[in-house]
């Protein structure tokens, strides 16, 4: 009875989302995996791989990049479609469709909270983009294959193993399989809300987060936006957010668009109708002005991003250094310097 009551209490959009994730898992992953089979594949690798074509190798030319693209051309098309939908509608792929992140989340939601580890308060943007830089440049340089740490193969192989397929059993008993399973359990099933792998280690999620933040800058796109004038700063949405993307800034909910997955959970729990998946308000004209106060007929939906807190004023100079931005800047500088140096070494040694 308790389980039925819990199911009934799930908001409609979330029930719908979980249903789509299950359908997607049945369509993409074994033993049915009928979508990959339409392209002659049995899993998400090969032509369907979305995780490798953009890796950087020293001395890489456009011809090499083109070769990578043509090997995984369906994955490249899928990746581009994901980016396009994210620009206009937010991260629909990650929250509603991806069977890999979705199954980890569903597994975690079925476990009792006392077994779970809380990762959402970690500096996820720094960890994610630090690892993304290493994944794009350093790992290929060191000859570490992108397949070594890949959740897009772990879950399909785990399902194969559970359904008794030899290939899946061999994978889960191998050292690579055991490491990946460990990551899946710790950062997936046993992580609070199940999305820690997505937030820290998935390269598709990292690229998608950048696109989400870019798209949210445009008022005509659908993203999670906050109506400042309605928000009470009650923090309920931040506690519900599976990605740890919401923080209170000056008692107003503020969404980190680099982390938000547009899952709608925050919208469902806000009693004040202060957060919404929407375009920015088009009605900029006040309905009327009373005693000098502009009264709007509808809230002004704004994409509020977490901004650095300015450091206290010292000797008349306002310090603007923020640790997060500093770390991001160092990571980006490191990656650019690394790419430039290795390319130059490769070019001059030819
Ligand atoms: S294991 Fe992962 S990175 Fe390797 S081909 Fe498959 S999907 Fe791509
Ligand atoms: S971040 Fe990666 S694993 Fe997670 S939902 Fe998105 S694509 Fe899937
Ligand atoms: S958006 Fe809603 S739930 Fe979140 S802090 Fe504001 S009022 Fe509370
Ligand atoms: S901010 Fe809202 S929509 Fe975005 S991930 Fe968090 S709960 Fe989901």
SS3 for 14?
A: helix
Binding site membership of 206 for ligand 4 (Cβ less than 6 Å): no
What's the gap in Å between 55 CA and the centre of ligand 3? 40
Counting ligands in written order, the one closest to the CA of 248 is 3
Q: What does 25-89 look like in DSSP terms, one character per residue?
A: HHHHSTTT-HHHHHTT-SSSSGGG--SSTT---TT--HHHHHHHHHHTHHHHHHHHHHHHHHHHH
Contacts of 349 (CB under 8 A, 6+ apart): none
Q: How far apart are CA 74 and CA 45, in angstroms?
A: 10
Reported as a single tens digit per residue, the pLDDT across 80-113 is: 999 999 999 999 999 999 999 999 999 999 998 8
CB 153 near ligand 1, within 6 Å: yes
**How far, CA to CA in Å, does 3 sit from each of 7, 9, 106?**
6, 10, 15
How many Å apart are CA 66 and CA 132, to the nearest integer? 21
Question: CA-CA distance, 60 to 218, in Å (whole number)?
Answer: 34
Neighbours of 302 (CB within 10 A): 17
Pick 298 or 167 by higher pLDDT: 167
pLDDT in tens, 119-166: 998 999 999 999 999 999 888 888 888 998 899 999 989 988 988 889
Domains and CATH numbers, the chain: 2-213 (no CATH), 217-302 (3.30.70.20)
| Nearest C-alpha neighbor of 261 from the set 150, 104, 27, 51 | 104
Nearest to 151 by CA among 188, 125, 124: 188
CA distances from 203 to 84, 134, 289 (A): 17, 10, 49
pLDDT at 346: 63
Question: Counting atoms of ligand 4 from 1, which one is nearest the CA of 275?
Answer: 2
Atom 3 of ligand 4: nearest residue by CA position: 262
Q: How close is the Cα of 232 to the center of ligand 3, in Å?
A: 6
Backbone torsions φ then ψ of 288, nearest 5 degrees: -160, 165
Ligand 3 site residues (CB inside 6 A) read 226, 231-237, 253, 270, 272, 274-275
Which tens digits make up the pLDDT trace of 158-197? 988 988 889 889 999 999 999 999 999 999 999 999 999 9
pLDDT of residue 143: 87
Determine phi and psi for 61, rounding to 5 degrees.
-110, 175
| pLDDT for the residue numbered 347 | 62
Question: Could you report the per-residue pLDDT of 209-252, keeping only the tens digit for each?
Answer: 999 999 999 999 999 999 998 999 999 999 999 999 999 999 99
């Amino acid at each position: 009875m308790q389980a039925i009551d819990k199911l009934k209490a799930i908001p409609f959009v979330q029930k719908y989302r979980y249903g789509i994730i299950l359908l997607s898992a049945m369509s993409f992953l074994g033993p049915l995996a009928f979508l990959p089979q339409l392209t002659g594949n049995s899993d998400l690798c090969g032509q369907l791989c979305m995780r490798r074509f953009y890796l950087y190798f020293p001395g890489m030319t456009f011809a090499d990049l083109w070769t990578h693209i043509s090997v995984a051309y369906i994955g490249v098309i899928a990746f581009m479609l994901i980016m396009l939908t994210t620009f206009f509608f937010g991260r629909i792929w990650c929250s509603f469709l991806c069977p890999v992140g979705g199954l980890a989340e569903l597994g975690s939601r079925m476990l009792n909270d006392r077994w779970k580890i809380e990762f959402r308060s970690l500096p996820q943007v720094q960890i994610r983009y630090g690892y993304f830089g290493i994944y794009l440049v350093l790992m290929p340089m060191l000859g570490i294959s992108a397949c070594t740490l890949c959740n897009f193969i772990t879950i399909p192989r785990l399902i194969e193993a559970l359904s008794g397929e030899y290939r899946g059993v061999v994978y889960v008993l191998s050292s690579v399989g055991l490491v990946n399973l460990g990551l899946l359990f710790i950062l997936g099933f046993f992580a609070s809300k199940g999305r820690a792998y997505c937030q820290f280690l998935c390269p598709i999620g990292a690229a998608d987060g950048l696109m989400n933040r870019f798209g949210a800058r445009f008022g005509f796109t659908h993203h999670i936006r906050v109506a400042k004038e309605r928000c009470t700063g009650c923090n309920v949405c931040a506690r519900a957010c599976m990605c740890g993307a919401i923080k209170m800034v000056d008692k107003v909910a503020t969404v980190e668009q680099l982390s938000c997955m547009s899952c709608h959970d925050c919208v469902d729990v806000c009693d004040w109708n202060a957060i919404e998946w929407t375009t920015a308000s088009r009605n900029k004209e006040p309905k009327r002005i009373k005693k000098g106060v502009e009264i709007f007929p509808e809230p002004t939906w704004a994409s509020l991003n977490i901004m650095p807190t300015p450091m206290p004023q010292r000797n008349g100079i306002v310090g603007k250094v923020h640790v997060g931005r500093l770390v991001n800047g160092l990571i980006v500088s490191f990656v650019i310097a690394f790419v430039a140096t290795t390319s130059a070494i490769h070019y001059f040694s030819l």
